[in-house]
Amino acid sequence: MLYKTLAELYESLSATTKRLEKIKILSEFLKKLSEQDRDLMYLLLGEIHPSYSEKKIGISNQLAIKAISKATGMGEKRVVQEWKKIGDLGKVAEKLAEHKKQTTLHSMASLTAKKVIDSLRKLPELEGKGTVGKKISIITELLASASPIEALYLIRTLVGDLRIGIQESTIREALVSAFFQEFNEEEKKEVSKAIQSAIDKTNDLAKVFEIAKKGSLKELGKIHLEVGRPIKVMLSQKVPTIEDGFKALGKPCAVEYKYDGFRLLIHKKSDNEISLFTRRLENVTKQFPEAVEYVKKYVKGKSFILDSEAVGFDRKTKAYLPFQQISQRIKRKYRIKEIQKELPVEVNVFDILYYNGKSLLNEPFEKRTSLIKKIIKNHPYRIICAKQIITDSEKKAEEFYKKALADNQEGVMMKSLSAAYQPGSRVGHMLKIKPEERDFDLVITGAEYGTGKRSGWLSSFILSCFDKKTGRFLEIGKVGTGIKEKGVKGQENLTFERLTKILTPLITEEKGKTVKIKPKIIVSVTYQEIQKSPNYSSGFALRFPRVTALRPDKPLSEITTLDEVKKDYERQK
């Protein structure tokens, strides 16, 4: 397939904000796609491999500017000038591609989608001396062969800003529409669930496309969990009180500590190979060698997938530490032993998805939690079963809740004993209860440069939630509090200098002191209340927001949604 065909699809998708229209456009495209073109499924989301792969494109705006300059014969200053004017490097590439000063032999050949994905896959493989030059060379070759519309989407793909407004759910419904046309509406709902289940179990759109193309619900049902391949974790909804939790779940139910740590999915293969994954599907096995040893020593079973929370603690006092202190271990690649001694973790296991060759996703939680207690030998400050009671007593649940808070944890989880495990879903049968202080996980989408002591730093940050209906990030407020001018122990990442450093490469547009930022950096934010406001695209504003933590462990798919904002707004009234 010609890459231009894919670029024209992108253009059609970006031309409408209506989800049903996007599904229809994408459905027609998928019908024409052959099995040989399966890898194009990754490009639909601006990726080059399945979502669990660690091989990301990772091209900075600066490197893209150099490639555009070289491919078009325009100076870098001219490219930057156009970028500041237009605010979209893809649009800059499109504009300058129309006025190329020179052509190359490559430009005589039509660019194929296979050529594009093969070339993009070379980028993360490059290492060592001369890497930047080699990357620029690969990108320049593609741009030299590209028409203006192809240049537009090549650059947007490279910098991770496709702007076509589709999500995984859009692709799911397009697959239903494309390959299950003969099914009635009720049957299509079942197909949609089956496709989502297949995506959740594989995190591989190309594989799901191949099976969906056969038009068989039975074939979709044959997709199973694979030990060693990360899957998305099940997510909870929140309720304000224990009483509300019992009303929603019935009695009795399980009440567990809600740990102030980070999610850790533990995979053990039958050959004794152990892998650790975060909720972002990142492999962190090397970062937590002690967790690997604990699993080998204290968990019985030939093969399994465990869901857990890793919590930091003070080696001397044994007091549990807040997430912000332990979060730096997630990204640490070097001097692992040193930080392991400084910031040890305890692994708290609260669910099991697979055991000795059998998926447990559809087994009731009561059975899953019972199995955990049988296979784990508790060793406090190493690995333990999550602290839990099963009760129908509100009084006992409240006492347990207070004990969790006294142990420096966030609160409690309440879980239905009969519920299945649904990867990637925010389910109503697993609920979290935390103290009344309101909090959201939001993404930074803009900022302003400071003055005085904060001159040269980004010092006021625009926060956004996510609207599932439109696939857009909507602004909900501006924050500058909770961030320090100098780092304090446990919060070294929460300084204006540090945030400026990690956000600068993500700037997509500059206008005076204001910048737009590619949605990537997630922060936990507390606030006093939600107000209606015409000043922000969400229609709401947070009163007295305060940043409490960077959340490198959370993917964009888990930030607070507009629907959740609306629910909390109604609840506070």
Active-site residue list:
258
Q: Could you tell me where the DSSP H helices lie in 74-130?
A: 76-86, 89-97, 113-122
In order of 209, 326, 357, 359, the CA distances from 315 in angstroms are 49, 13, 37, 37
How many CA atoms, within 13 angstroms, populate the side-chain half-sphere of residue 17?
A: 6
Single-letter residue type at 472:
R
Cβ-in-10-Å burial (0-12, 13-18, 19+) of 180 comes to buried
Residue 35 CB: number of other CB atoms within 10 A? Answer: 10
Residues 6+ apart with CB under 8 A from 300: 374, 375, 376, 377
Query: Tokens 């010092």 belong to which residue?
Result: 459
Cβ-in-10-Å burial (0-12, 13-18, 19+) of 568 comes to buried
Q: Could you tell me where the DSSP H helices lie in 314-426?
A: 323-326, 328-331, 336-342, 365-375, 394-406
On the question of a cis peptide bond just before residue 252, with omega within 30 degrees of 0, the verdict is yes
Whole-number CA gyration radius for the chain: 25
DSSP state of 108: G
514: its two tokens: 């204001």
- The residues pairing with 554 across neighbouring beta strands, listed in sequence order, are none
Single-letter residue type at 397:
A
Residue 168 near residue 17 (C-beta atoms within 8 A): no
**C-alpha–C-alpha distance, residues 467 and 74, integer Å:** 39
45: its two tokens: 């989301």
Burial string for 407-427 (b: 16+ CB within 10 Å, else e) reads eebbbbbbbbbebebbbbeeb
Residue 381 near residue 318 (C-beta atoms within 8 A): yes
